[in-house]
């Protein structure tokens, strides 16, 4: 019995030795056995066949993308509508510059005129009439969708290190890390084949504080002598925000591509956010004895005083805008003792100031159907850059009032659900002493009839309101007679 066991043990050892040798041979033949990031990135470059693109040629491809409008759809939960993008792109592997020309189709609009974005490893520019205008950091999304630019940029970075292995999409991947001005990024490489699998990082966000963003590269195909990822995705906190499909690909002569040369990097930092999110100082316009409009280039809000209580209609853009609004309120109404914020609509930039007011004890009034979403905004933990609510979380609680029918908020102020098919879970506010109607985001233009404008007019008719003037987040003070004229044309 002992001799049999010894024989079995010897065979097991032999098989283990042979398996280890086979693995080692396989590694030496196909995959690097060391953890040198330059070797790993060069391998990715080789398997993607960068070398098949001649130095005087650039990659040229067409793609389609669906960009989920989670921040401004008609509900705060899926399904969201998508902006459908048709793209044509050129990538110069010698310089790393990529130009993407995009036409966008929105519900009821488009395709739009083509808009061109040019990027390098750290900057994005809008190309307009041969002029290059610097874009905010958020405009780098298209570049991150492309694994070719990812490998190019990481090879040029010089500060890449290997931090280990992690299981992702059913297989173990090699994880590389590098530091950038916006924070640490991770690149996942497949040890079997060398291909990039995803790029991920924590990204600051004006409403959620930070989100875990992943750019996932899939469906690799041989096309025109190079390997391309035919399907690429941007995910934020696990939810797909962009789905891109690459179609035909070829190479074209660099001179024929006509790509502009980017200026030398001056080291000047780009704006973190687009203009509509920047908390530029609001301009104050009085429209009643105690009623004012607060407007900056991104958003307009309204504020009024009844007794010793201030009513703010919408809180946009974030903490800094809300701090500026609060300072204006203190100056206009030094006698006020309480603030109530009316949330008219749930588009993310429209409610980005909510957390500030909750932290400062304001009452929040919104459509009853908005409660769960607004609570999720308040409950979100800001860990990357704690805001005022995060710093006061132990004592901060949302005092919420839900509205689902005509509601008297205070003497002379009533709230009304619009309740059109395109304006569910949205409110308008009527300030009877001023004969003024706050139209939320649902009248944006008076140049022509719109379904949103008609739904606001219909809600006012339904509830017996008789305004003389109206305004909204993107609409200046306007005579109500103009809204009636437009409604009569529909």
pLDDT single digits (tens) 411-459: 999 999 999 999 999 999 999 999 999 999 999 999 999 999 999 999 9
> Confidence band (pLDDT; 50, 70, 90) for 337?
very high
Q: How many helices (H) and strands (E) does the chain have?
A: 11, 26
* CA angle (299, 84, 142) in 5-degree steps: 80
277-488 adopts what CATH topology? Metallo-beta-lactamase; Chain A (3.60.15)
What is the CB-side half-sphere exposure of residue 303 using CA atoms within 13 A?
30
Q: What residues does CATH 3.60.15.10 cover in the chain?
A: 277-488
Residue keyed to tokens 């979403």: 373
Nearest CA-CA partner of 332 in 301, 298, 359:
301
Cβ contacts of 16 within 8 Å, gap of 6 or more:
none
* CB contact set of 322 (below 8 Å; sequence gap of 6+): 315, 353, 356, 357
Q: Answer yes or no: is pLDDT of 9 > 60.
A: no
Range 153-161 contact pairs with CB under 8 angstroms and sequence separation of 24 or more? 153/96, 153/121, 154/41, 154/178, 154/187, 155/38, 155/41, 155/42, 155/45, 156/96, 156/121, 157/121, 160/37, 160/38, 160/41, 160/187, 161/37
Average pLDDT over residues 271-289: 94
Q: In the chain, which segments carry CATH 2.50.20.10?
A: 33-254
Measured CA to CA in angstroms, residue 202 lies from 243, 269, 385, 478 at distances of 20, 19, 11, 43
Distances in whole angstroms, Cα of residue 313 to Cα of each of 40, 278, 341, 423: 55, 19, 6, 17
Instruction: Give the domain 33-254 fold.
Output: outer membrane lipoprotein receptor (LolB), chain A (2.50.20)
What token pair was written down for 331? 């100056």
pLDDT in tens, 41-57: 999 999 999 999 999 99
**Whole-number Å distance between alpha carbons of 218 and 227:** 11
User: pLDDT digits over 446-483, tens only?
Assistant: 999 999 999 999 999 999 999 999 999 999 999 999 99
How many CA atoms, within 13 angstroms, populate the side-chain half-sphere of residue 41? 24
Q: What is the pLDDT of residues 298-333, one digit of tens each?
A: 999 999 999 999 999 999 999 999 999 999 999 999
d(CA 146, CA 244): 10
Pick the closest to residue 172 from 142, 148, 197, 137 (CA basis): 197
Percent of the chain exceeding pLDDT 90 equals 88
For the segment 194-249, what is each residue's pLDDT rounded down to a tens digit? 999 999 999 999 999 999 999 999 999 999 999 999 999 999 999 999 999 999 99
Nearest to 59 by CA among 85, 89, 87, 100: 89
List, for residues 158-190, the tens digit of each pLDDT value.
899 999 999 999 999 999 999 998 899 999 999
Q: Which residue has the higher pLDDT, 388 or 7?
A: 388
**How far, in whole angstroms, is CA 189 from its chain's centroid?**
26
Q: Any bridge partners for residue 23, and if so which?
A: none
Q: Is the pLDDT of residue 13 over 90?
A: no
Quickly tell me which residue has 């006698």 as its tokens.
335
């Amino acid at each position: 019995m002992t001799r049999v066991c010894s024989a079995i043990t010897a065979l097991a050892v032999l098989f283990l030795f042979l398996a280890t040798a086979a693995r080692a041979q396989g590694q030496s033949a196909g995959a690097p056995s060391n953890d040198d990031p330059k070797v790993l990135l060069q391998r990715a470059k080789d398997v993607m066949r960068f070398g098949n693109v001649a130095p005087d040629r650039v990659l040229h491809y067409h793609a389609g993308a669906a960009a989920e409008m989670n921040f401004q759809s008609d509900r705060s939960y899926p399904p969201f509508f998508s902006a459908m993008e048709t793209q044509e792109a050129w990538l110069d592997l010698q310089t790393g510059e990529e130009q993407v020309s995009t036409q966008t189709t929105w519900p009821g609009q488009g395709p739009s005129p083509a808009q061109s974005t040019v990027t390098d490893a750290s900057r994005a520019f809008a190309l307009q009439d041969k002029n290059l205008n610097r874009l905010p950091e958020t405009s780098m999304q298209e570049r991150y969708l492309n694994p070719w630019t990812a490998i190019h940029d990481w090879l040029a970075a010089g500060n890449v290190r290997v931090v280990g292995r992690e299981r992702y999409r059913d297989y173990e991947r090699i994880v590389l890390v590098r530091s950038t001005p916006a924070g640490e990024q991770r690149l996942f490489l497949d040890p079997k084949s060398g291909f990039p699998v995803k790029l991920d990082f924590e990204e600051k966000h004006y409403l959620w504080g930070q989100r875990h963003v992943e750019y996932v590269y899939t469906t690799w195909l041989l096309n025109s002598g190079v390997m391309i990822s035919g399907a690429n995705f941007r995910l934020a906190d696990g939810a797909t925000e962009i789905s891109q499909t690459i179609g035909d690909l070829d190479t074209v002569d660099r001179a024929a591509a006509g790509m502009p040369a980017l200026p030398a990097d001056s080291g000047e930092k780009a704006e973190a956010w687009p203009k509509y999110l920047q908390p530029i100082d609001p301009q104050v316009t009085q429209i009643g004895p105690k009623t004012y409009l607060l407007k900056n280039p991104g958003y307009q809000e309204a504020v009024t005083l009844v007794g010793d209580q201030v009513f703010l209609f919408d809180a946009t853009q974030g903490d800094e805008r809300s701090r500026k609004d609060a300072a204006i309120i203190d100056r206009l109404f030094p006698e006020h003792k309480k603030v109530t914020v009316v949330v008219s609509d749930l588009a993310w930039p429209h409610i980005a100031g909510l957390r500030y007011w909750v932290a400062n004890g304001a009452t929040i009034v919104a459509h009853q159907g908005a409660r769960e979403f607004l609570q999720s905004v308040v409950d979100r933990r800001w860990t990357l850059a704690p805001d005022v609510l995060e710093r006061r979380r132990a004592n901060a609680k949302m005092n919420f009032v839900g509205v689902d029918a005509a509601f008297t908020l205070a003497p002379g102020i009533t709230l009304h659900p619009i309740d059109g098919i395109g304006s569910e879970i949205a409110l308008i506010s009527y300030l009877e002493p001023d004969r003024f109607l706050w139209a939320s985001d649902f009248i944006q233009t008076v140049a022509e009839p719109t379904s949103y404008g008609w739904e606001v007019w219909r809600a006012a008719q339904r509830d017996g309101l008789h305004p003389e003037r109206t305004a909204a987040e993107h609409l200046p003070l306007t005579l109500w007679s103009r809204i009636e004229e437009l409604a009569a044309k529909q």
